[in-house]
Amino acid sequence: MAVDVKICGLTDRPGLDAAIRHGARMVGFNFFPASPRFVSMDAVAALAAEVPQEIERVGVTVDMDNETLEAAIRSARLSTVQLHGHEDPSRAAEIRERFGIKVLKVVRVSEASDLEAVAAFEPVADLLMFDTKPPKDATRPGGNAIAFDWRLLAGFATKRPWLLSGGLEADNVRQAAEISGASAVDVASGVESVPGSKDPEKIREFMAVCSGL
User: Quick one: which of 187, 141, 145, 144 has its CA closest to 164?
Assistant: 187
- 210 is a catalytic site residue: no
Extract long-range pairs of 131-140: CB within 8 Å, 24+ residues apart: 131/84, 131/106, 131/107, 131/165, 131/166, 131/186, 132/108, 132/165, 132/166, 132/167, 133/108, 133/109, 134/108, 139/34, 140/32, 140/34, 140/35, 140/62
The dihedral region occupied by 42, where left means phi > 0, alpha psi between -120 and 50, and beta the remainder, is: alpha
What is the length of the chain? Answer: 213
- 8 is a catalytic site residue: yes
Of the candidates 4, 8, 186, 210, the residue annotated as catalytic is 8
Q: Are 210 and 2 in contact (CB under 8 A)?
A: yes
Buried b / exposed e across 112-137, counting CB within 10 Å, b at 16+? eeeeeebeebeebbebbbbbbbbeee
Q: Are 183 and 6 in contact (CB under 8 A)?
A: no
Of the candidates 4, 17, 65, 131, the residue annotated as catalytic is 131
Residues 6 or more apart whose Cβ sits within 8 Å of residue 93: 123, 124
Q: Which residues carry out catalysis?
A: 8, 131
